[in-house]
Amino acid sequence: MAVISRVGDDFPEEYKRLLTEAGVDLSALKTVEGAKTTNYVIEYLDGERRMVLKAKAPPIEPEDIPHELTARAVLLAPIAGEISPPLVAVLRRRAEYLCLDPQGLVRSFREDGTVVLKGWFDRFVLSLTDIMKASLREYERIMGTGRLRYGLRKLHNLGVGLVIITLGEEGSILSVRGELYAIPAYEVTRVAEPTGAGDVYIGAFLAEYVRNEDPVWCACVGSAAASFVVEEFGPTRFGSREEVMERAQEIYNLVVKV
């Protein structure tokens, strides 16, 4: 596993050490002198998340991609618009599967940094995408509608083979070339913090998918992995593979085709 990104010189060395010890290749992590690392202040008020952008790192450029890079899967996960169509085109040529989490592409920022969602639809980027994961609100901003079947059919026609729509505590919807599956959320005993659940979901999904696993099973693994991260604050609880697989099997038994 490797990370390609840009951070400022304020990015803690401790974070780099923790990632390296976890087996993450940081050779393509570029530190930009004089720049700040992208970061937000996040608050939850009455179940609603409020995000305020405090600093933004320079965007990732095509020249940041190592020439020798080849990968089974690449996850594009911008959080503040860091990626561009030329960058996506470069990564498309280096990966068997290109997965997009468009959260950072549907965000705009008020003068004080407060995040508001905006419309976004880039036919070129979407046509290069094999897998897309988005929350329902993000999906609505991308497709201009909350009608699932209409929007999903449009995405599939562009070439997006798999689409995942996350619904928080209500689980997720997986669309495989127009066939829809309701993937339940695992019922946890407590939710300490939901931040990062979607990121863990798609990461676990891809980890299984590159093993040539069935997409429905992969979505169950994603849902199970996400259930662990919400039980604690921050990235402190992920569950062992055995624990994740046990929960995934419980979820799989409850999947419904819709």
67-76, 136-145, 172-181, 192-201: the lowest-pLDDT one = 192-201
* pLDDT value of position 234: 67
Structural domains present in the chain = 61-257 (3.40.1190.20)
pTM exceeding the 0.75 threshold for the entire prediction: yes
Task: Give the phi and the psi of residue 229 in degrees, each rounded to 5.
Answer: -70, -25
Segment 209-233, tens digit of pLDDT: 999 889 999 999 999 999 998 887 7
Q: Which structure tokens are listed for 33?
A: 């002198």
Q: Quote helix, strand, coil % in the chain, to nearest 5.
A: 35, 30, 35
Segment 51-98, tens digit of pLDDT: 999 999 999 999 999 999 999 999 999 999 999 999 999 999 999 999
